[in-house]
């Protein structure tokens, strides 16, 4: 049923999320404060991993059968915390097609607070407004243009918020810390990583348009999410093939600063010391003047008129 055998790991991570959540809900009233913090931290990490899986599955569906992908999207919705189908407009059809342009509603030039850490922290609340607005607009169009996609979104909405409502009714304290907090962390993390991957890069350059994080441990847990440049080159390329293709196609000519060996060390340099917002080549980064979002939704909808990537996203 799997398109790629490597997605056994994908299913393992999602299964672990549900198993650990069940254990955490059972253990919550039986353990002390320190253990509760540990439960929350583990669920925050795994929920973010599920957000990465959400990203991957909307570029390259996990299963060969459409019905299986639809069920899997519901499972991802409840592990990531938000309707998976809502990921399509802002990411697949805006960010990927118009990276760092004003039609990219997730462009990093929307924030410029002088202090790099503050710009990073404000990135999510700033772009969330545009993403939410675009989601509503896109959903309204797709209600008549592609009703199957719209019905899938409605199903995910019911599960996303219905499951949270039930858990809050059963025990609001455990639901708050074991469900809502990890889900908010997941959506913050999967959005904010865009700042790390693109800020200060050259979106018009053949290979210097994205920052990559090369660490093997990081990429094992995040399904090669660190290899972002090759993902933009070929969004439908399965995550298990990203490292090999990056080394073959981007590594020979990419600027060395765009192949960061460690995400942790990069975060220290970017936001602690020296903590300056710089271009990929180390020069001071003058953030270009930004303006309101430009419309990115194409006139012709749906299906093949969206291009290959859009068609995969809305039909899978």
* Residues 184-214 pLDDT 10s: 999 999 999 999 999 999 999 999 999 999 9
pLDDT of residue 310: 39
In 3D space, the residue among 302, 218, 232 whose CA is nearest the CA of residue 262 turns out to be 218
> What are the structure tokens assigned to 307, written together?
């291009």
| Least confident piece of the model among 114-123, 129-138, 292-301 | 292-301
The conformation of residue 59, written as its DSSP 8-state character, comes to T
CB atoms within 10 A of CB 41: 12
Q: Can you tell me the mean pLDDT for 261-277?
A: 97
pLDDT digits (tens, 9 = 90+) for 121-168: 999 999 999 899 888 899 999 998 899 999 999 999 999 999 999 999
Give the count of beta carbons closer than 10 Å to the beta carbon of residue 128: 16
Task: Indicate the domain borders of the chain.
Answer: 7-315
Phi and psi at residue 289, to the nearest 5°? -60, 135
Cis peptide before 236 (omega within 30 of 0): no
How many CA atoms does the CB half-sphere of 81 hold within 13 Å? 25
Kindly report the number of other CB atoms within 10 A of residue 170's CB atom.
10
């Amino acid at each position: 049923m799997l398109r790629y055998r490597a997605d056994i790991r994908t299913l393992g991570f999602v299964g672990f999320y549900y198993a650990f959540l069940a254990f955490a809900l059972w253990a919550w009233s039986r353990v002390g404060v320190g253990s509760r913090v540990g439960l929350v931290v583990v669920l925050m990490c795994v929920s973010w991993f599920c957000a990465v899986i959400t990203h991957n599955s909307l570029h390259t569906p996990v299963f060969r059968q459409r019905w299986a992908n639809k069920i899997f999207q519901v499972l991802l919705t409840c592990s990531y915390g938000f309707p998976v189908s809502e990921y399509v407009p802002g990411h697949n059809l805006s960010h990927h097609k118009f990276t760092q342009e004003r039609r990219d509603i997730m462009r990093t030039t929307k924030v410029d607070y002088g202090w790099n850490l503050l710009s990073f922290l404000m990135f999510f609340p700033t772009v969330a407004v545009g993403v939410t607005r675009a989601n509503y607009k896109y959903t309204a169009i797709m209600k008549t243009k592609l009703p199957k996609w719209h019905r899938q979104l409605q199903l995910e909405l019911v599960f996303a918020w219905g499951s949270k409502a039930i858990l809050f009714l059963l025990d609001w304290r455990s639901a708050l810390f074991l469900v809502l907090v990890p889900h908010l962390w997941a959506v913050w993390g999967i959005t904010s990583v865009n700042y790390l991957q693109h800020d200060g890069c050259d979106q018009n350059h053949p290979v210097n348009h994205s920052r990559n994080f090369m660490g093997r441990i990081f990429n094992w847990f995040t399904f090669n999410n660190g290899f972002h440049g090759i993902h933009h080159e070929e969004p439908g390329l399965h995550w298990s093939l990203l490292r090999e293709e990056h080394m073959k196609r981007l590594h020979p000519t990419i600027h060395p600063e765009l192949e960061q060996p460690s995400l942790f060390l990069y975060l220290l340099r970017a936001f602690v010391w020296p903590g300056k917002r710089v271009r990929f080549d180390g020069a001071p980064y003058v953030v270009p003047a930004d303006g309101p979002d430009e419309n990115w939704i194409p006139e012709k909808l749906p299906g093949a008129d969206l291009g290959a990537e859009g068609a995969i996203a809305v039909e899978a």
